[in-house]
Structure 1
């Protein structure tokens, strides 16, 4: 496998993927995906058979290669990439096969940032630049800010940029769709404005989630989530912990007092959120002094 050129390795991985998840593949599939001749596709199948002869058989009637009952994947296919390929198409979106490989429906994102804005922010992250932006927040309305973008974060509902905010001299999350009027400033960020100084981003905590004690069928939660001995342990950045708990509707109240069909999980180690700036948005979480956490 190591001798195969990078381009052929990619095609062989595609053969392996389609056999694994779809059960079949043809020369036309390879030619269409990679824009190669049928002769190249034929050589790819020959190479794959040398790698895993027990994985593949040729169906003369349909001129299609099919997975055998003894199929074992040659390549490692991550779950996230597999689901993306099956539901949105295999590849990087720059060519090749487009569209879902299987019938699939999923919620359409309705608050995606403009691609030009995303590119401006990611260039600033990669190039360590300072941005002047107009930002609209719930508390302050529209304000002019100087920020140092550091990382992207997805909370499951919307995309944020983690950045140092010179207006408040703190590291904060900015919702990308609320950013307006980006302008690159000439100066370089200060050392203390780097991600290395973002304690909330650097600090990792482990939260322990269990089936909600008041949910009528707690065994369903254990089936729906990868629990070990009835506990789902999640390691997350302190800056993101509240988002994670809110996304999965985890009851974070001390006495598991939140009610509703959405609360199927409960956070049993609330103390793990102590000192986490994102804790206030976790459902039902209150700090020990009685205020919002």
Structure 2
């Protein structure tokens, strides 16, 4: 590729330069020195070397005494997507970055939804990660909303996954002889064990990749349907998602479907986002209904 030989630290500063050109329209030596704690000389070198690499992307404006984005600007080091900007606001909101650490030169007034969930104990997460790494088993006291059992569960975790709201541990439950998801925040205690008796089969639902084909609700008019196709980046009027079978239930909920809401024994094909499942029978079979 064109810029593969550039060192990671240098590439990160080039990404920052493009981020500023993309979202602020300007970039100068001062903001580079402040964000990366480099000398003014190094900042100057970064700007001039970037200009050598991508001369069509910026030009020096002597009146403003800074570099400005040219009309021919095309990002080479960042994707130039809105998500790249918005993720900085999300990190700021969630406390993962301070206002001095995020990249936007000025932060607009904003807010994001903060889901109120029980925090995950770092000790528990470390024990789960260790068991995954060592392919070991754990005894877990787990608070299940569907069962009142108070006995410990012997589990073999092999992955963690997020449904967009909560983090789960994907594990083989020796007592029930099946792979299941366990919400990490519902684990009250965990202890490593040495279990040589339980045979752990392959988690086929985790390994298997299935298709979820979504299209605009057929009841929409042409203009509404075209708008939805653009919004979701559909190709040929369809959004094709390749997902793990074990994650399919969560993807359905993410796109506004309620897998528990059935009609004639199948998922009720109605989304709060005006979407429609094109391969309903296949999806219904994949979540264990057929």
Q: Tell whether 2:276 aligns with 1:266.
A: yes
Cα 1:208/1:251, change in 2 over 3 Å: farther
Structure 1 residue ranges, 4+ long, deviating more than 6 angstroms after superposition: 254-257
In the other structure, the counterpart of 1:137 is: 144
**Preserved CA contact (<8 Å) 2:257 2:269:** no
**Preserved CA contact (<8 Å) 2:141 2:189:** yes
Q: Tell whether 2:164 aligns with 1:156.
A: yes
For 2:169 and 2:118, locate their aligned partners in 1 and report how far apart those are by CA, in whole Å. Answer: 13
TM-score (norm 2): 0.79
Cα 1:32/1:122, change in 2 over 3 Å: farther
Q: Tell whether 2:215 aligns with 1:205.
A: no
In the other structure, the counterpart of 1:46 is: 48
In the other structure, the counterpart of 2:242 is: 235
State the shift of 1:246 in Å: 1.6
For 1:28 and 1:56, locate their aligned partners in 2 and report how far apart those are by CA, in whole Å. Answer: 17
1:65-114 CA distance string (max 9 Å, x none): 2211111112143745453135436xxx5899424724232211322643
For 1:49 and 1:177, locate their aligned partners in 2 and report how far apart those are by CA, in whole Å. Answer: 49
- Which residues in structure 2 correspond to 1:162-181 (within 5 Å)? 162-181=170-189
1:167-211 CA distance string (max 9 Å, x none): 212111111111121222355897x537xx111011111122122
Where in structure 2 are there 5+ consecutive unaligned residues?
none
Where in structure 1 are there 5+ consecutive unaligned residues?
280-286, 289-293
Cα 1:174/1:20, change in 2 over 3 Å: same
Query: For structure 1, which segment, 70-79 or 112-121, has the greater mean C-alpha deviation from structure 2 after superposition?
Result: 112-121
For 2:129 and 2:30, locate their aligned partners in 1 and report how far apart those are by CA, in whole Å. Answer: 37
RMSD in angstroms over aligned alpha carbons? 3.2
From 51, 55, 74, the equivalent of 1:72 is 74
**Preserved CA contact (<8 Å) 1:55 1:68:** yes
For 2:28 and 2:121, locate their aligned partners in 1 and report how far apart those are by CA, in whole Å. Answer: 35
Cα 1:274/1:109, change in 2 over 3 Å: closer
For 2:147 and 2:177, locate their aligned partners in 1 and report how far apart those are by CA, in whole Å. Answer: 16
